[in-house]
Structures are given as C-alpha cells and as structure tokens.
Structure 1
C-alpha cells in the first residue's frame, strides 16, 4: 500500500478495503490486516474516519507535495518569497581548520549565542536557554518528536502554514484546527482544542502565514490565560519573519508558561539558503531538543553559524533588513487598500502575505492565471476554514497592486456571473 501511494496508484482520500474483505482476498487473518493498517496510520500514510473507513491521508508521508511549477510568463505571487532586492550578498566562507574535529562539545559559536540572547531579550523573550537548528521546520519537528507520539494531537492555526501541516501529517500526528483572525489564534477555539486533547500548540505571534495576523497585547493575555490551564502542553511560537513582520512582538513566552519555545529564522530577510534557526525555550525543552540533535547531526555547521553572525553584525545588511520591513509594510497596505476600493475584503496586518476570502478558489486562481498572475489556492493552507487565496506581496509595487486588484475584481465578477450572482 505504501508503494501504491508513492507511485500514485492510491491518491489522497482513496479508501482502503475493509479489514475483513482484504483479509479474505489475501487469505490472511483480519488481525494481520488490522496491524498493517495501524502501522500505516502510525507512519502518517492513512487516516481513519470512523464509519467512513480508512483512507489515504491528504499529505501521506510516502509522497511529496511540492508546490506546482510556475507556468512560463506568469508573475509569481504564490511562493511566499522575499524580494531579492532586499537580500544581502552572502559572505565568503572561511576554510575550516585542518584535521579531524567534532563540535559536539561546543555546538554553538559563543559570539552568535551571545548575539541571539540579546535578540530575544530585546523582544522580551526569556533567553536563559537557547539553541540552534537547521531552520524553523527542523526545529519544530525535533521539538514535537521528543514530546509526542503518532496519534497525538497538535492545535494548529487554521488557515495555517501548509508545510507545517504536511509535516505533522507525515509524523502521524493529528491536527486540531484553531481558527485565526487579524489578532491570531482565537482563545475560545484554542480552549476547545485543549479540551479535545491537544498535547502541543504551534502558533505564529506575527506575520501569520497565510492570514497575516499578529497577536495584540490583549489577545496575547487571553491566550496565556487559556494556556495556563494546561501546563503540560508544549507551546511553540514560530516567529519566522521577526525582523520584517512590520509588527511588534507580543509573545506568549513571557507569560509564565511551563513548557514553551520560540523559534526564529533568518531565511526571509538574510538569505533563503541560510537554513539556520534559533530557539529560546524552557530548560526541559532545551535538554530534549539538544539531546536529539546530539544523536543526529550533532550540531549546526559552524560555517553556517559564522555566515549568519557576519550578516547580523553587518550594518549594510541590517540597513537592507530595515528597508525591507518598511517596504513590505507599504506594499501590503497598498494592496489591501486597492482591494478595499473595489469592495474586496482582505487580511494582512503583518508579514509578506495577504489572504483574500473567495467563494471558489479554482475560479479565482485560474482567472488570474489568464491575466498573467500566479497566486496560491487556499486549499493547501486550510483545515476547516472558509476558502481563500494567498498572495505574496513582497515584490508587488504600487502599480502592480492596482492592476492586480483590478484583475481580481474582474475575476470575481466573472465567477459570480458563472454561478448566477
């Protein structure tokens, strides 16, 4: 069955035969088939829907779900990428010292660790315990792996970051959707997720992808109050666009939570090839993360750490980051206003993306494609939330924003005519 999923013979949502029927066909015991189905669930290949039977998971672990290739001649606003004009040149790498060596005993460059502590401290995030990883997803995956087992539930933003949703599916973890608005996760829905058995919460304090929300101080306080009622739950903040979010940080991590981590990376503003992340966390979480890291890669490349440190200390690079944050904010605000002038509601109070609710995602995506735009259908980001499309505005100037908004309005008009108003 894994081979069939990997080869495309079985696709997402396809039903597996009932246990007894397959046992009869293969001349094996029902217990053997049931054990195989249990193994497939543990690997994230299939899910069970009660009376709906067992079906292939939406993003099975044995299959890859890379975004579709951008067709030739289209303006790509679907990838979530920064504007290359605001990315600094990567520094040259010094040759490593000769001879065999291991950095397991000193995995973090002291100067970079000091710089990271100041980075977190500046935003009010406790920095007594910090660690490094190979990007935000790598860090979050390791944190969840050390805490949870297949079948455990994680409270996730809805709509939320599609790669993270796919990752949890591949790990065999269940997701419980928590609705978001312009201020982030909604407290009532989070409370329900915890009551439903969520053992971890993953959220974005700002630049939420794809919705663009950010925690207000009031929303932060409400969420902390909910989370204090579940001290055993691990809370992970993914502050992936910290320096270019265009919004202040109102972090959950300073609220006295027992188990927490905040993860930051630099790929959106220092370079997409800098697969490095820093995390501040509680002592237990640090020990478990670093213990697992020690047994796998051992440490994050010191050459990579040196490159990050050079850029963090480079005034010209930091000037580009400052300009990027201001420019992205202007472009995001301009596009939202252009849509509003045409009667279209959109969301995007921080970050590089704008979420536009629509009735028919396919009609909008295909309609914009015929006009030269490539945007992301919301289906990849959603669990239970209403349809929409995500548009990355990092490289969208004012003239482009006006033209895209006009094209968007025309596409919506055509869609409404198709469906009879």
Structure 2
C-alpha cells in the first residue's frame, strides 16, 4: 500500500469536514440564541467558551487514550462511532429550546459529544501520512473543513432566518453520513499504515496510561532545555485567543453594531472562510519551500494588520474585502500549526502531542470569546478587532523566540 495517497487524505478529511459544518453552526447561532436570555456579550462569550473549558481537560486525555486503545476497529474509530451520533442527536435538539436551562443542557451535551471524537478524528491524518507530507495533507484536510464551513455560512445560514431547525437537522445528517463513510473506509487500513515522527522518544513515557502520559508530556515540554516546542505552543495560544474571539463574536458584532440580519452577518464572516479554502492547499506547499515557522510568521503579521484595519472601518464592502485577506493569512497560520506540533512527537505519541496542541488551543479558545466580548462590553463592538491584533503581535513575538531557541539547540 502506498505510504501517501491524496484520495486517502480526502476520505480522512471527511471527519474534519463534518466537524467544521456543525462547529460553524454552533459558533454562528448559539450566541444569538443565548442573546434571547443574556444581554452581556462577555457572559455569552464565556458560555461559548464552555466547549474549550471541557477540551482543556478531556481532549488531551482522550487523544492520549486513543494512542493506547486496542480494538478490532483500531485506536481512533471507536471514539467516532460513539461521539458523532451523540453529537447529531444534541444538534437536532439545539434549536428547540424553551428556556435558558434547556438551551444550556443541550449545549453541554453537544459539547461533550464533540469532545469525545474531535482529537481522534484529527489524529487520523498523521496516522496515515508520512511526516514529510503532513503540511500538504493538512492543507487538504483544512480544505475539506473550509468547504464544510462555507456550506454552513453561504448555504445553511440563510435557512436559519426562515426555518431555524432546518440547518441543524442538515448538520446532524452530515455527521451521521461522514461517520459511516469513515468507518467503512478507515477500518480496512487499521494496522496497515502507522507513521510517527522521527524525533527521539522515551520508552517509559510511551507506556504510561492516558492522564499520566499527558502530565508526562506537559512536564517534558515545560522542563526541556530546548524551549522551541514551548514557545510554539505559547504562540498557538495567543493566535487562537485572537482568532476564536472574532469567530465567536462576529455575528453578534454584525447584528448589534452593523445592524445586519443574522444570516447576512454569518454570510459576511463567510468571506474569511472562502479565502481560507482557496489558499489552504497552496499554503501546504509553501511550507515545503520556505519552512513552517517563516510562513506562519507572515500569516500572523498579516492578520495583525488586517484586524487593525477592521477596527478602523464600518463599511460592509470594505469589511468583506478585509475578511477575504484575513482568510488567506489564516491559511498560512492554521495549515501548519498542527503539523508543527506533532513534528515533536515520537513513536506512539501522535495522540499525546495532538492532546498538547488541543490543550493550548482550547485554553485559548476558552479565554478568547470572553476576553474580546469584555472589550466589546467596555469599549464598543469594534474593539474586539483591536484586542485580536494585540494577540497576533504576542504570537509573533513567541514565534521569534521559538526560532532563536531552535537556533541555539542546533548549535
């Protein structure tokens, strides 16, 4: 069997496609549903960060657990078989809330179901891809995810204004269909393709069970003399604070500051996703030529400038044009961040380093919506863009520190 095949990556990418469809539904419309009961944007942002609060503790453990699970369906698929149908059920229930308590209850159930299968789904890509092809493969995976996001933003979002439950029902169907396809396709590959990065590995660490393995991995990152991985994870934290805050709060900004309908606000942020899709695959090949950290640095700097420009304008066409540019720069960042982290993984630790990636990004995505929502409450809606620009500047500083740490280590 070939070690790398593009059709295989497209099939594996269906998992990320399904996640992106339902996640965009959640991020676009949950803040508006919460707005029926809660006026404070900071409080709404805090509730939107509940998923990431759960992710901080659960996703790294589940990811490390999936490294060690041994079933006839392999390591990752059992999590998909349970989590995706559960998430579909809660997604169907989500728009039928009758009060704040039922909305929160369905929200928590949905988030826990998504947490169960998210990291194992993402870990499928490095499982079936050689290390030197992971940026290209991640470009394809993110292309699939971007297509899912666009379907939600430009298609399902319009349905929300006229038939609120319909887009959620379609999202649930997407989850079920993708789960079936993945099980049918990936199960025959179990045990035939397994790739790990080429860095050294501590054998005793590999044998540690889920929580102990995660703690050991965190300890290794924080105590290692080589600070490259720690600086990269800190940069990931900063850029996800900035990005997730804007992603979660943009529909609120569009409706309450720009005066758009919910559908048009969601359509506007869709321009960001459109550009991301168009540049996802080319971004993967750019890293092959110039290196991951330089390409990410260009993307972070570009995002910082564009968020400052968004802070300065309220013209809808200008905002959409800037969001197009933002999606291009985000492709330079997001396509390479996960492959960069798992490049530090040794044999048997893909899930562990996937967990570390999600630990830092999930903490960031817990903080981001609430932090930028507080900016909006205190200073006005446009100030979320100023806060995001500061986060990008901090991320760029950590990337520069990572390059210096890598240079010191190599010397």
Tell me if TM exceeds 0.5. Answer: no
- For Structure 1 versus Structure 2, the TM-score category normalised by the shorter chain is under 0.3
TM-score (norm 2): 0.27
Answer 1 or 2: which has greater strand percent.
1
Larger Rg: 1 or 2? 1
Structure with the larger RCO, 1 or 2 (CA within 8 Å, 6+ apart): 2
